[in-house]
Amino acid sequence: MLEAIKSPADLTGLSAVQLSELSEEIRSFLIEKVSKTGGHLGPNLGVVELTIAIHRVFDSPKDVILFDTGHQSYVHKILTGRVDSFDQLRQRGGISGYPNRAESAHDVIENSHASTALSWGDGISRGFALQGSDDRHVVVVVGDGALTGGMSWEALNNIATAGKRSLIIVVNDNERSYSPTIGGVATYLSTLRLTSGYEKFLDWGKDVLHKTPVVGGPIYDTLHGMKKGIKDIIAPQGMFEDLGLKYMGPIDGHDIAAMERALHQAKEYGAPILVHAITEKGKGHKPAVADEAEKFHTVGIVDPETGESLSQSGLTWTKVFASELVEIGKERKDVVAITAAMLGPTGLDQFAQLFPTRTVDVGIAEQHAVASAAGMAFTGLHPVVAVYSTFLNRAFDQLLLDVALHKAGVTFVLDRAGITGDDGPSHHGIWDLALTGIVPTMHVGAPRDGARLRELLREAVDIADAPSMLRFPKGAVQVDIPAFERRDGIDVLYRGESADVLMISVGAMAALAVEAASQAYREGVGVTVIDPRWVKPLPQSLITMAQRYTSVVVLEDGIRHGGIASSISEVFRDAGVNVPLHSIGIPLDFLEHSKRSEILSDIGITAQNVARSVVEWSSSFKEEMQPQLDENENRRQNR
């Protein structure tokens, strides 16, 4: 049946039996394909029937369907004609793991940071209403913890007062915190709450009773209180209605017929409404269901039957950080760990097992995490905030004005810094160096290997009167690169004979820098490679060191615009250093999903390309300087 689904319109004529068969086919298809490519398996196994029901009730792309977060959109992609593209899911030239406008008119939000879709839904539905597009509906699928983000509640607060427009919020509740209310009574009550007659009756009762002298107000308050009390017993999620939103549910999200009934009612309601669906993350896949912690939220290449990883799992940057933080935690009771719904992925689960009272997971609420860390620092604690690099973007205001302004001793540890690869534009960690570069008092360290990560982490938590940050990439940590000399805190990693080029390597680019220097030496250009370890503030000795060379090259895996090379250029300019400076980094662009090595190759950051550039720059400089060198030599001989 799956091969016959080319668009959502192909779902309309299917019977209940056929829909059930299609659901199972989709699950088998997802397990087979995602096990080969990696991706977000568990969330998509949980929304199969839910997504089918949405596409049967609504007319996409005329009706706009938004996903928060976008990693639960695989089934949506299948139903909108992309089933043949899943062999290349998250691969170069293949489909994205998130909605992507270039792929389909059915996709809208490409940014897949959580808790944003409700604001999008508010804006789109307002836009439709203002332009008279009353026949267009907006559906926002919110799940996987997105409601733990404060931005979702800011949106709900505004949506509740928006008036008449068709905005349907589907809460995909896969945490099993509520049992679905099923049966005829529940269906009747849901229908009663949504009928226009019921709403008119409530409006009439409120108006008449409030106009009744003396007793009208108390009677209305009593009846309203009784109604609210009964409602809270039947549907404990009454907080949504207290906010001003109509609420339906809970509904079994795996019952297509029940979901369709609810969605049809919501569609006809004509005002913002919330539909609460209960789903099981990882449904239909035994390994996912058995994985109580993550439900196979995201997987690499795995055995489709057992769920066992088929990838080699060596020592990763995350594991190095996790083990060292545990050791620090044993030594220092003032160190606490904070994360935003990323306890396992950032490695803080190890710290949490040993120090549960000193570990805080705030949910998808990075802004709160950072401001809360400032408060903890005020009491004398030293918080370590561990998040993915891309998610620190969301809390820049708090970093700047709550932490840095108050000189709070908070350490930020950014996993997945630089180019991360498979997850695409919204998940590359290429902005952090530029962002933190403009934060006063900020200390930024970039470890080149596991040994330096351990070393810099200890140095960072010793900084008590200013924020500090460490960053490292995704995946396996490279072999340690020892320095043969440390000069004023700067590690010298490589020194070519008669070196006239100074290469400043930032963090994990060290191995590439050393290899490029070696290749350049074979081409007759001597290069010294250094690792400053701390790239903010820059060591003052860097100025003296740079003046010994004819040119300086900065190699970093953050954006060039406003990055470390820009900072060094400004320092040189202020100090009157006239040494030519060349920048090798990430272009100011949004980079599509692909393997890290492929993207680095695309933008010219390989050892061979770097070496070639160094040789060309050195040759060009010598050609420009040759007349001056000849003149100097003539003067020397004439003397």
Q: Is 32 exposed, middle or buried (0-12, 13-18, 19+ CB in 10 A)?
A: exposed
Number of helices (H) and strands (E) in the chain: give both, helices first: 24, 18
Q: How far apart are the first and last CA of the chain?
A: 92
Q: Is 631 exposed, middle or buried (0-12, 13-18, 19+ CB in 10 A)?
A: exposed
Alpha carbon distances (Å) from 156 to 159, 241, 341: 5, 11, 21
Q: Strand (E) positions, 389-481?
A: 411-415, 443-445, 468-471
592 counts as catalytic = no
With left for phi above 0 and alpha for psi between -120 and 50, is residue 467 left, alpha or beta? beta
Residue with tokens 């490409």: 110
The CA distance from 144 to 152, in Å, is: 13
Determine contact, residues 403/409, Cβ cutoff 8 Å: no
Catalytic residue among 394, 448, 474, 536: 394
CA 620 to chain centre: 42
281 counts as catalytic = yes
In this structure, are strands 443-445 and 534-536 parallel, antiparallel, or unpaired? antiparallel
Q: Which residues contact 486 (CB under 8 A, 6 or more apart)?
A: 492
Comparing C-alpha atoms, which of 591, 550, 583, 552 is closest to residue 566? 583
Catalytic residue among 82, 165, 193, 281: 281
- Other beta carbons within 10 angstroms of residue 515's beta carbon come to 17
Token pair belonging to 330: 């044993």
Comparing C-alpha atoms, which of 435, 394, 391 is closest to residue 413? 391
Q: Is 206 helix (H, G, I), strand (E, B) or coil?
A: helix
The CA distance from 457 to 602, in Å, is: 32
Q: Which residues contact 39 (CB under 8 A, 6 or more apart)?
A: 71, 74, 89, 90, 97, 298, 299, 422
- Radius of gyration of the chain from its Cα atoms, rounded to whole angstroms: 29
Go through the chain and tell me how many residues it has: 639
The CA distance from 556 to 508, in Å, is: 8
Catalytic residue among 49, 324, 366, 556: 366
Q: Phi, psi (5° rounding) for residue 406?
A: -95, 10
The CA distance from 212 to 349, in Å, is: 60
Token pair belonging to 588: 């100011």
Determine contact, residues 536/441, Cβ cutoff 8 Å: no
Residue with tokens 């973007």: 393
Q: Is 578 exposed, middle or buried (0-12, 13-18, 19+ CB in 10 A)?
A: exposed
**Identity at 225, one-letter amino acid code:** G
595 counts as catalytic = no
Q: Which residues contact 519 (CB under 8 A, 6 or more apart)?
A: 607, 608, 611
Alpha carbon distances (Å) from 405 to 309, 371, 383, 410: 45, 12, 16, 12
- Other beta carbons within 10 angstroms of residue 241's beta carbon come to 17
Q: Which residues contact 146 (CB under 8 A, 6 or more apart)?
A: 68, 69, 114, 115, 117, 152, 364
Active site members: 281, 366, 394
